[in-house]
Amino acid sequence: MERVIIETNVVPKPIGPYSQAVVCGGTAYLSMQLPIDPDTGLMVEGAIEDQARRALENLRELLYASGSGLSGVLKVMVYFADLADFDRVNRVYSEFFGDSKPARAAIQAAALPRGARIGFDAIAAVKG
């Protein structure tokens, strides 16, 4: 099967030796998106809702670059610095996914890259 590496400047550049996304066999595998402003390269400051919104905007843009979209998402992994933010993040998450409701897992991580409070990765079907 052919693997296609996705690289786009509409989301922050990777901060390590990995791809932003990989498409293979009609499926897109997206790396974790953090609440980093792609224009400035800086972490979004403010409430957890602001960070969640920016990270999900980055995820959405990477989905588009991969040939998918929010409705194509099959599974999302949510990484919390503090699970106490769960309900507040869910409200923002619902703004993006609405009724499509992909499968999801959520964990609290000891730390996230660059001091982020939230991160999201996803697996999505690619439009044919």
Contact status, residue 29 vs residue 123, Cβ threshold 8 Å: yes
Is 96 in contact with 36 (CB distance < 8 Å)? no
| 38 DSSP 8-state letter | T
Q: What does each C-alpha distance from 99 to 87, 103, 106 come to in angstroms? A: 17, 12, 19
CA 20 to chain centre: 10
Q: Examine the pLDDT at 15 and tell me if it is beyond 90.
A: no
Over the stretch 34-80, which tens digit does the pLDDT of each residue have?
Answer: 999 999 999 999 999 999 999 999 999 999 999 999 999 999 999 99
Least confident segment among 13-17, 78-82, 116-120: 13-17
pLDDT at 1: 81
Domains and CATH numbers, the chain: 3-125 (3.30.1330.40)
Task: Give this prediction's pTM.
Answer: 0.96
Main-chain phi, psi angles of 113, to 5 degrees:
-55, 145
What pLDDT was estimated at residue 127?
83
